[in-house]
C-alpha cells in the first residue's frame, strides 16, 4: 500500500522505525549540517533565529503542533531552557520524542499529548506563551 493511503497515524511508521539509525543520522547531518532530529526542512540556525523572535525565556511554555519525533521541540527546550509540549498523532513519533528528551536531559520540562490536530485539542486555553508547527501536512 502506498504510504499516502495509510491512516494518518500510521503514515510515517516505516520512516520513524529507523529514524535514529546511524544511517538516518548521517543523512540528516549531510542534508542540514546539524542534526537536531528534524523531520522537516527546518535547520538548526533557522530555528535559533525564529525562536529568537518569539522572545522565549526559561519560564516560557512552548507548544509544538505536529511535533513528530520532537527534534525541533527538544532542541528549543534544551537551548532556551523553557518548557515544551508536543501534540502528535503517531505513537512511533511519540516514542522517539520521549527517548530524545531523555537523552538531552529535558524530560522534566517536556510533555507529550497523543492527539489528532483535526479534532478539538485536548489542551486548556491560555496555557502556552508561543506555538510552532513545522511542515505538518496531511
Ligand X SMILES: C[S@@+](CC[C@H](N)C(=O)[O-])C[C@H]1O[C@@H](n2cnc3c(N)ncnc32)[C@H](O)[C@@H]1O
User: Applying CB under 6 A, does 116 fall inside the site for ligand X?
Assistant: yes
Strands of the sheet with 110-114, listed across from one edge: 110-114, 83-88, 61-65, 130-132
**Taking the CB of residue 14, how many other CB atoms lie within 10 A of it?**
12
User: Applying CB under 6 A, does 75 fall inside the site for ligand X?
Assistant: no
Determine the interface stretch with ligand X among 20-28, 49-57, 101-109, 110-118 (rule: CB under 6 A).
Answer: 110-118
Determine the interface stretch with ligand X among 23-31, 53-61, 66-74, 121-129 (rule: CB under 6 A).
Answer: 66-74
Q: Report the sign of the C-alpha dihedral through residues 90, 96, 101, 104, in that order.
A: negative
Determine the interface stretch with ligand X among 23-31, 37-45, 75-83, 120-128 (rule: CB under 6 A).
Answer: 37-45
To the nearest 10 degrees (0 to 180), the angle between helices 71-80 and 91-104 is 30
User: Looking at residue 127, what DSSP letter applies?
Assistant: -
Residue 23 or 59 with smaller CB distance to ligand X = 23
User: Applying CB under 6 A, does 122 fall inside the site for ligand X?
Assistant: no
Chain residues that interact with ligand X, rule: CB under 6 A:
8, 12, 38-40, 42, 66-68, 71-72, 88-90, 93, 116-118, 134-136, 138
Amino acid at each position: 500500500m502506498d504510504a499516502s493511503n495509510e491512516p494518518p497515524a500510521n503514515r510515517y511508521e516505516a520512516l520513524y522505525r529507523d529514524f535514529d539509525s546511524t544511517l538516518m543520522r548521517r543523512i540528516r547531518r549531510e542534508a542540514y549540517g546539524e542534526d537536531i532530529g528534524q523531520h522537516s526542512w527546518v535547520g538548526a540556525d533557522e530555528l535559533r533565529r525564529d525562536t529568537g523572535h518569539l522572545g522565549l525565556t526559561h519560564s516560557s511554555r512552548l507548544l509544538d503542533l505536529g511535533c513528530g519525533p520532537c527534534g525541533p521541540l527538544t532542541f528549543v527546550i534544551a537551548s532556551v531552557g523553557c518548557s515544551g509540549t508536543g501534540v502528535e498523532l503517531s505513537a512511533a513519533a511519540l516514542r522517539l520524542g520521549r527517548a530524545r528528551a531523555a537523552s538531552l536531559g529535558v524530560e522534566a520540562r517536556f510533555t507529550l499529548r497523543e492527539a489528532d490536530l483535526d479534532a478539538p485539542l485536548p489542551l486548556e486555553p491560555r496555557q502556552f506563551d508561543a506555538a510552532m508547527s513545522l511542515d505538518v501536512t496531511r
